[in-house]
C-alpha cells in the first residue's frame, strides 16, 4: 500500500474506507479517572491552609478527530485497511485515538490486541518491527479500567513511533500476551505482571521477575501499602511511611 490512499468513487458502503474517524473520535465527553480534593492530605476542620476546597478532576485526553496532521493520517489509513484485510473493522478494534504532545496513541480493545499489533508489524506501509516493552498503569478510581498496559512501538523502516494502550478491570486483570508477535516483550510482561498484577494470557512463562515468587501483592499499584520500618537517629525516631502524615 502506498503512503496515500486516493478516494475511490466506486467504493461501496460495505467495503473498508480509510480516512474516517474511528469510534470515540470527536467525543466531547471525557472519562473521569480520579477526583482529588484538598491538599496536603488534610481533611475537615484540621485544614488551616486554605487549600481544603481545591477540587482537581483528572480526565482522559479527548479523542482526536481528523485530520490528525503529519504522517498520522496516512499511517492510520494504512492501519484501517490492514485490519479490514484481516476481517477486523478499525471501529471495532480501536476505542479511540489520542494525539498529545506530538505523539499518537491507539487505545485498543484487549480482545483485538493480537491482530492489531500483527497488522502493525507485518503491513509493509507500517512495519513497526520493534516493541521496546510494556509499562503498567494503575488508576484505582477509574472504574472498569483500573489497569492499563502501554506498549511503545517503533518502525525502523519508516522512522516512526506510536503508542498502543489497552485497559482491563481490576476484577478481570487479563490482557493477551504479545510475545508471539514481539518476542522481546517476554521479560517486560513478566515485570508488569510482577508489579501491577496484569495477567498476560498466553505468555510462555508468566512468573515474577524481581520480587520473590511467594511475595504477596504488586508493589507499584497505588493501593499497595508503603510499609517500611521506623528509623532512629540521635534519639529522634522517624516513623515508617505508613504511619506518617498522608499527602495526596
pLDDT of residue 110: 98
Instruction: Count the alpha carbons within 13 Å of 136 in the hemisphere toward its beta carbon.
Output: 27
Q: Name the residue with cell 478481570.
A: 172
Per-residue pLDDT tens for 227-238?
776 777 777 877
Which of 112, 19, 99 minimizes the C-alpha distance to 63? 99
DSSP 136: E
For residue 196, cis peptide bond before it (omega within 30 degrees of 0): no
Backbone angles phi, psi at 232, to 5 degrees: -110, 135
Distance CA 4, CA 145 (A): 35
pLDDT of residue 11: 41
**C-beta neighbour count of 38 within 10 angstroms:** 17
Distance CA 203, CA 171 (A): 20
pLDDT of residue 23: 53
pLDDT of residue 24: 53
Per-residue pLDDT tens for 201-214?
999 999 999 999 99
Q: How confident is the model at residue 44 (pLDDT cuts 50, 70, 90)?
A: low
pLDDT of residue 36: 82
How does the average pLDDT of the chain come out, rounded? 86
For residue 76, cis peptide bond before it (omega within 30 degrees of 0): no
The whole-model pTM stands at 0.82
Distance CA 52, CA 36 (A): 11
Which of 63, 65, 60, 64 minimizes the C-alpha distance to 31? 60
**C-beta neighbour count of 82 within 10 angstroms:** 24
Amino acid at each position: 500500500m502506498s503512503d496515500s490512499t486516493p478516494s475511490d468513487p466506486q467504493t461501496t458502503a460495505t467495503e473498508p474506507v480509510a480516512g474516517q474517524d474511528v469510534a470515540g473520535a470527536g467525543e466531547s465527553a471525557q472519562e473521569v479517572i480520579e477526583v482529588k480534593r484538598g491538599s496536603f492530605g488534610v481533611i475537615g476542620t484540621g485544614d488551616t491552609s486554605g487549600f481544603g476546597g481545591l477540587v482537581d478532576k483528572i480526565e482522559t485526553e479527548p479523542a482526536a478527530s481528523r485530520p490528525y496532521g503529519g504522517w498520522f493520517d496516512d499511517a492510520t489509513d494504512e492501519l484501517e485497511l490492514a485490519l479490514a484485510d484481516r476481517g477486523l473493522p478499525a471501529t471495532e478494534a480501536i476505542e479511540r485515538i489520542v494525539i498529545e504532545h506530538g505523539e499518537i496513541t491507539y487505545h485498543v480493545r484487549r480482545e483485538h490486541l493480537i491482530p492489531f499489533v500483527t497488522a502493525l508489524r507485518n503491513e509493509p506501509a507500517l512495519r513497526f518491527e520493534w516493541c521496546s516493552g510494556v509499562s503498567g498503569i494503575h488508576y484505582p478510581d477509574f472504574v472498569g479500567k483500573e489497569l492499563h498496559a502501554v506498549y511503545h512501538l517503533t518502525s525502523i523502516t519508516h522512522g516512526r513511533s506510536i503508542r498502543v494502550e489497552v485497559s482491563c478491570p481490576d476484577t478481570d486483570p487479563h490482557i493477551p500476551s504479545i510475545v508471539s508477535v514481539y518476542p522481546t516483550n517476554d521479560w517486560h510482561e513478566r515485570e508488569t505482571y510482577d508489579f501491577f498484577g496484569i495477567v498476560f494470557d498466553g505468555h510462555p512463562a508468566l512468573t515474577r521477575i524481581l520480587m520473590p515468587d511467594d511475595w504477596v501483592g504488586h508493589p507499584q499499584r497505588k493501593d499497595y501499602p508503603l510499609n517500611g520500618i521506623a528509623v532512629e537517629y540521635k534519639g529522634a525516631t522517624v516513623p515508617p511511611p505508613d504511619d506518617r502524615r498522608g499527602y495526596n
